[in-house]
Amino acid sequence: MIDAFPAPSIVPLEHILPDEPLLMMGAGPVPIPQKVAAANSIVINHLGETMSRVIEQVKDMGRYVFQTSSSHVLGVSGPGSAAMEMAVANLVTPGARVLCITNGYFSQRLAEMVRRVRGEPTILESSHNQGADVATVERALQQGKYDVVTMVQGETSNTVCNTNLAQISRLARRYGCLTIVDAVCTLSTMPLEMDNWQVDAIITGGQKGLSSIPGVSLLAFSEEAWARKIARREELPYHWCLDAQLADKFWNQKSYHYTAPVSGILALHEALRLVCEETLPQRFARHQRCSEALQAGIEAMGLGLLVEKQHRLNSVVGIVVPDHVSAEAVRTHMSKVHKVEISGAFGLNILRIGQMGEQSRAHNLFRTLHALGSSMRAAGATLDLPAGMAELERKLSAQS
């Protein structure tokens, strides 16, 4: 009965999308380079010689951005959260005791994932808007016997950075724990050294630091984690799609697990290639220079940043919304008038501007800072827009 379900009348995309794409300056997804967009438009066979060559290079480049020699770099068809869940599902067995170091929304999500695979999370929450403290973590490790530690490098939700990640990860290894690190927003924007810091699983997504598309994510397991937990496992993990041994068939043995997201992998290949071309040291320096200039410009305008300098993330900048100003009104004005999109926050009265990948470019900073100041003013804030723009200019030219 074709008539019972007639075709719906649909508005074509060109009438839904804005005439001019918005400049995506929020907490992700971020703008993608033309090479990434072009690669994303191609479909090839998911198995065979061409795909194998692409996968070999993605793994090599993955090892570079993770700074590891591990042979267990894997991709997953899914958001950053799927990579988080894949790390958890393969390293946390039922009844395992997990120390979940939390500073906000995403680190809490890791704890929820631990709970769902029947692990036993103990939450160690950092002080308000601060990164985890090494001595506090060590006390927790002494008091309880843990199998795994989870944490984020950058807590995108409230713009807190765990600057002590290296010490904490090495400490966890000394206490016999495997460490899972969420680097979704930070990877390739700031230093992270998987092998040197003794991290056992690193997770990233496409749409943030790497400036690729959302929906294809990358992770790596250490040789140690693979040998201890994955190769010698006694029970199958709960999730068939996220099973690291099955994923290994595709990523290391040129055979079939599920149909790989070929276009997304090609896009990721290009995004990673651009990282290699730029080199990590240069890329870190660019992110730091741009983010610090943006922060200085925001403060020079008379606005405040949420997190103290010592604990502040550079990859996403959290701006306190002045009393009597509506964050939503600012965001709407920025989108409508200036065609710049930034993010609100989960429950906090802040606005967030991303400094990940293509967002960290001088021309994008000038447009975004101007749009922010002008929209804040339109929403009732009192501030000095020219002073902010001048400070941005001063900082960018002083450091370059």
Ligand X SMILES: *Cc1c(COP(=O)(O)O)cnc(C)c1O
**Does 185 engage in binding with ligand X (CB under 6 A)?**
yes
Query: What ranges in the chain are assigned the alpha helix state H?
Result: 13-16, 34-39, 49-66, 80-91, 105-116, 134-143, 165-174, 223-225, 244-253, 262-278, 280-301, 327-338, 362-378, 385-399
The residues that bridge with 13 in the sheet, in sequence order, are: none
Among 85, 147, 182, 243, binds ligand X (CB under 6 A): 182
Nearer Cβ to ligand X, position 90 or 162?
162
- Which among 31-39, 114-122, 149-157, 276-284 is the span making contact with ligand X, rule CB under 6 A? 149-157
- Measured distance CA(181)–CA(258) in Å, rounded: 26
Q: In angstroms, what is the minimal distance from the CB of 247 to ligand X?
A: 17
Among 102, 126, 156, 314, binds ligand X (CB under 6 A): 156
Among 62, 205, 354, 373, binds ligand X (CB under 6 A): 205
- Which among 77-85, 133-141, 325-333, 365-373 is the span making contact with ligand X, rule CB under 6 A? 77-85
Token duo for residue 75: 């991709």
352 marked ligand binding residue: yes
Token duo for residue 143: 């008091």
Q: In angstroms, what is the minimal distance from the CB of 306 to ligand X?
A: 16
**Does 81 engage in binding with ligand X (CB under 6 A)?**
yes
CA torsion sign for 347, 353, 359, 360 is: negative
Nearer Cβ to ligand X, position 39 or 161?
161
Residues that contact ligand X, how many (by CB under 6 A)? 14
Q: What is the DSSP pairing of strand 178-182 with strand 148-152?
A: parallel
- Measured distance CA(248)–CA(55) in Å, rounded: 12
- Measured distance CA(345)–CA(325) in Å, rounded: 15
**Does 152 engage in binding with ligand X (CB under 6 A)?**
yes
Nearest to 238 by CA among 92, 99, 107, 81: 92
> What mask, x for binding ligand X by CB under 6 A, covers residues 24 to 43?
----x---------------
- Which among 76-84, 133-141, 220-228, 326-334 is the span making contact with ligand X, rule CB under 6 A? 76-84
The 10 Å CB-count burial string (b at 16+, else e) for 179-216 is bbbbbbbbbbbbebebeebbbbbbbbbbbbbbbbbbbb
Q: Which residues in 264-303 contact ligand X (CB under 6 A)?
A: none
Nearer Cβ to ligand X, position 219 or 294?
219
- Which among 180-188, 226-234, 368-376, 388-396 is the span making contact with ligand X, rule CB under 6 A? 180-188
**Does 358 engage in binding with ligand X (CB under 6 A)?**
no
The 10 Å CB-count burial string (b at 16+, else e) for 221-238 is bbeebbeebbeeeeeebe
Q: In angstroms, what is the minimal distance from the CB of 217 to ligand X?
A: 7
- Measured distance CA(110)–CA(114) in Å, rounded: 6
Nearer Cβ to ligand X, position 70 or 150?
150
**Does 164 engage in binding with ligand X (CB under 6 A)?**
no
Order across the sheet with 73-77: list the strands.
Answer: 73-77, 216-221, 201-204, 178-182, 148-152, 97-102, 120-125
- Measured distance CA(103)–CA(129) in Å, rounded: 7
CA–CA distances in Å: residue 127 to residues 102, 182, 311: 10, 19, 11
Q: In angstroms, what is the minimal distance from the CB of 154 to ligand X?
A: 6
Nearer Cβ to ligand X, position 83 or 274?
83
**Does 85 engage in binding with ligand X (CB under 6 A)?**
no
The 10 Å CB-count burial string (b at 16+, else e) for 62-73 is bbebbbbebebb
Q: What is the DSSP letter of 6?
A: P
Nearer Cβ to ligand X, position 28 or 264?
28
Residue 324's region, left for phi above 0, alpha for psi from -120 to 50, else beta, is left
Q: In angstroms, what is the minimal distance from the CB of 381 to ligand X?
A: 27
- Which among 15-23, 181-189, 287-295, 384-392 is the span making contact with ligand X, rule CB under 6 A? 181-189
**Does 369 engage in binding with ligand X (CB under 6 A)?**
no
Token duo for residue 101: 């170091």
- Which among 151-159, 291-299, 302-310, 359-367 is the span making contact with ligand X, rule CB under 6 A? 151-159
Nearer Cβ to ligand X, position 62 or 80?
80
Query: Annotated binding residues, as ranges?
Result: 352
Q: Which residues bind ligand X (CB under 6 A)?
A: 28, 79-81, 106, 152, 154, 156, 182, 184-185, 205, 208, 214
Query: Annotated binding residues for substrate, as ranges?
Result: 352
